[in-house]
A and B are shown apart, each in its own frame.
Chain A
Amino acid sequence: MLKNLNIWFVSSLLISLTVIIPILTVFSSFFENTTNYFDILKNTFLFEYTLNSFCLLVSVLSLTFIIGTCSAYLVSFYEFPLSNFFKWALILSFAVPPYIYAYSLTAFFENYGTAYTILKNLFGEGNYNTHIPKFDGMLGSILSISFSLFGYVYILARASFLYQSQNLIDLGKNLGFSNFRSFYSVILPSARPAIVAGLSLVAMETLAEFGAVDFFSINTLTTGIYNSWIAFDDLAFANQLSFFLLLFIFALFILENLSRKKAKYHFNSRGGFKRKEKLKLTRHKALLAFTFCFFIFFMSFLFPLSQMLYWTIKFPENLFDLKIMELFLNTIYLVFLSSIILILFSLISNYGNRVSNNKMLNIFSTLSISGYAIPGVILAVAFITFVAWFDDNIIKTLGFLSIKKIFFGSILGLVLVYFIRFYSLAFNGIKSGYEKINIYVDESAYLLGYSKRKTFMNIHIPFLRNSLLFVGILVSLEIIRELPITLILRPFNFETFATTAYISASEDLLEAAAVPSLFLILIAALFIMISSKYILRDNNE
């Protein structure tokens, strides 16, 4: 290992270790003593927490599979009114985090809510409340999470459908298959790895979901972790719960990894690839396809957007009460600072891995990218645990001043945990850019007299420009929507659109949550529109 010791190797190693520490903290907590909260919980709510998490997971996976796959199939294989618009409009659902969807759902269907107002305006006064369905509790959580996350399945399924060879479809026709039979016996099995990969992402996000389930008062393992820390001040038990959740998530992570390998194999064997001609739908078939896609687009984006817009207009005082510019600047400040740090360090780490070609470093990097699989709540708790332990056992023993203030309730601590949480997104995004640079390119540069630093600056960075932009936008989008980490670690009096919306909603002031939610959706939608051509990858970049 010592012979590989160079600045790139050391930097990569340090970055990986920084990200791994909270993960190790969660694992190490398994052996610690806890308060009697565990006994209380074991005898009371643990079964309910686990059952709720499981129900939520299965329902969300089923719904996202149906919505994501069907919409991807329609826009990939058929031409119908606005099909090209739906192709990218469906990914706008990413702009609406589950907790904002939950606010919209409640605001619309609650007693004397928007639905009631509409009916009253149409038909006059009446007792409509009893007839309006209530989408709250478990059902509300399932709908909120599904409409917010189906985009993962949609994007990956669509990418897979897009590169399915026409030969495969022709083969189905040749065997006399109907369109439906071709779909389930030829097209769907071929896209299976991509769909599974999309569902794994949905699963990770669902298990990690905090805002929506908390709003609907559904107790899951994630809210259990938050409660054991907030209500019982039991960090060790919060970590132990996290450990169980982490094991489950790691199993999903491995599944996702395995399926992605299959997907790669799929793309490599594109022999005889023939681009598909889209089938033009007419009359009732076109209308059906259009209605389905419009319904999904409406439900996932237009509905929450218009609900928030409606309330913003209806209660304009909230717009003026709120320090919009301050919230905007805070959000953008966090987004830019975190994105730049994430991109810079992920770039260095990727290059360090590339030039060092060291097995140990590879293992550390692989471990470090599992941060994305860990719910934000767990990461925040693990971070606090580690800093507290480090401060008590190392810093104070050495006689230095406490470092807790530097990391708790500070921008530094917040950005550091964002870094750990979203490191895998940035690392993998840049890695996929790097995979397009043949290793011979580096070697050619060395042979032309370029040093490692010069190769990095003059050859790699210009080539990776687009990847860096894409990763930056992706990370920004995640940070804009992120809630639990910001909620736990933000400095006193430092609010973002996400935290302001959450705080208003948790105080039952949904009208007040509308303004920050609306701004959050608009900013996120703007980022999505800028990056849509990269996300959809139509050019096979």
Chain B
Amino acid sequence: MSKNFFEINDVTFSIGGKNKVNDVNISIENEGDIICILGPSGIGKTTMLRTIAGLEKIKKGQIILKNKIISSSKIHLEPEKRNIALSFQENSLFPHYTVNKNIHLGVKKNSLNNKKIESKEIIKILNIESILDKYPHQISAGESQRASLARSLISQPDLLLLDEPLSNVDQSFKEDIQVALKQILKENKISTIVVTHDSYEAFYLGSKCALILDNEVKQFDDPYNVYHFPNSIQVVNFLNRGILLPAKVTGGNSLENDDLGIIKGKFIKHYPTGSKVQLLLQPEDLEHDDDSNLKLEVVDRKFRGTNFIYTLKTPSNRLIPVAVHTHHWEQHEVNEKFGIKRPIELEHIVCF
């Protein structure tokens, strides 16, 4: 008997005879937990959701929901019998029904379910009151996506699958809806798998994130660890939040880089003294200090709202990102010199 609410054991996900993601092992421990699947476009995230929903079959491994095998090489429970809701990225509303009818088609299902979700509340939270009497072709892509999400929520599923649920939603709504959505899911204990390519959305919604890269799950961990302790160079490259610099381990808590000098901190993994490694340097790792004697040339400055991200060029022509608060006392322009505080001390040292 499985101790997890939902499990994917050793499953290879494929579509049209082509393997997309191999040997996947991920799980939802408790009812009501949310996990996120993160990865680049076309990697097979949607295929995973479709397979979990029963729209695709598997040849290897098994998928278990509430201690019942719903997919394996021999068993395939039909989608209509799984009580799994999938909110598609594409418009999936019934074109000949109004939005209101579309949403309430979900209500009929599982009336015996002990979860009690008020449709009025969902409609209000998702801000779709004004489009209830409209037909799908009369509304925008974002509105259609929210209506589809409402229908899935109202159907009170055992497992909710959301495929890029807010990809077409305006930025101004997006964060509010993320907060409201998380609250509804938690309050009603709806176990959810969210597929997204937006790492911030994944980090906010999910208690765990699975990173799909190179046809496999590279890392399945909580968001903090995925961000700060990526377990492979591929994960670093995908998150695109730092660079790798060549360095030499000089002791139990230090290493040295030709351009930056000695860097101190706590290694998350042991490396023997003298070994050559690739050090992960993230934008938050270095501090600005124009009094420092370590000065690098600014080659670019990106405005990111709360931060500027400076791109600095080292003597060996490497480009390093450094984040500085936008209200920071001194700004630098391109071609100016930017001082880096020494000694450089990092919270954690991540190397490969």
Q: Which residues of A contact B (CB under 8 A)?
A: 436-438, 440-441, 443-451, 459, 462-463
Contacts and interface: CB of A to CB of B under 8 A. Distances in A.
B53 interface: yes
A436 B95 contact: yes
Nearest to B90: A440
B95 A441 contact: yes
Contacts of A440: 88, 90-92
Nearest to B157: A447
Interface in B147-162: 148, 151, 155
22 contacts: A440-B88, A440-B90, A441-B92, A441-B93, A441-B94, A443-B88, A443-B92, A444-B86, A444-B88, A444-B148, A445-B94, A446-B54, A446-B78, A446-B79, A447-B79, A447-B80, A447-B86, A448-B80, A448-B106, A449-B81, A459-B94, A463-B96
A-B interface, 3 closest residue pairs, ranked by CB to CB distance from nearest = A440-B92, A446-B79, A444-B92
Contact of A443 (B81, B83, B86, B95): B86
Given A436-B95, A446-B54, 9 more contacts: A438-B90, A438-B92, A440-B90, A440-B91, A444-B93, A448-B80, A448-B106, A462-B96, A463-B96
Contacts of B53: 443, 447
B345 to A, nearest CB: 52
Contacts, number: 62
B80 A449 contact: yes
Contacts of A450: 80
A449 B109 contact: yes
Interface residues on B, range: 20 to 34
Contacts of B110: 449
Interface of B: 50, 53-55, 78-86, 88, 90-96, 105-106, 108-110, 148, 151, 155
A451 B54 CA distance: 13
A470 to B, nearest CB: 16
Contacts of A441: 92-95
A241 to B, nearest CB: 44
A523 B148 CA distance: 46
Contacts of A451: 80
A443 B79 contact: yes
Given A446-B79, A449-B80, A449-B109, A437 B92 contact: no
Contacts of B151: 444, 448
Contacts of A444: 86, 88, 92-94, 148, 151
A6 to B, nearest CB: 11
Nearest to B155: A448
A480 B55 CA distance: 44
Contacts of A447: 53, 79-80, 82, 84-86, 155
Contacts of A448: 80, 85, 105-106, 108-109, 151, 155
Nearest to A454: B80
A219 to B, nearest CB: 52
B291 to A, nearest CB: 55
Contacts of B86: 443-444, 447
B15 to A, nearest CB: 12
A197 to B, nearest CB: 27
A438 B91 contact: yes
A441 B136 CA distance: 12
Nearest to A464: B96
A222 B118 CA distance: 69
Contacts of B54: 446
A456 to B, nearest CB: 13
A439 to B, nearest CB: 9
B79 A463 contact: no
Contacts of A437: 95
A462 B83 CA distance: 25
A148 B11 CA distance: 62
B14 to A, nearest CB: 15
A449 B108 CA distance: 9
A66 B116 CA distance: 67
Contacts of B85: 447-448
Contacts of A443: 50, 53, 55, 79, 86, 88, 92
Nearest to A459: B94
Contacts of A459: 94
Nearest to A463: B96
Contacts of B80: 446-451
Contacts of B106: 448
B55 A463 contact: no
Nearest to A455: B80
A463 B88 contact: no
A450 B78 CA distance: 11
A484 B249 CA distance: 92
A446 B148 CA distance: 14
B91 A463 contact: no
A449 B112 CA distance: 14
Nearest to A444: B92
A436 B95 CA distance: 9
Nearest to A436: B95
Contacts of A446: 54-55, 78-80
B92 A463 contact: no
A441 B137 CA distance: 14
A443 B151 CA distance: 14
Nearest to A443: B55
Nearest to A3: B57
A234 B54 CA distance: 57
A443 B54 CA distance: 10
A437 B81 CA distance: 23
A90 to B, nearest CB: 30
A449 B84 CA distance: 9
Contacts of B108: 448-449
A447 B158 CA distance: 12
A449 B82 CA distance: 8
A462 B101 CA distance: 14
A426 to B, nearest CB: 21
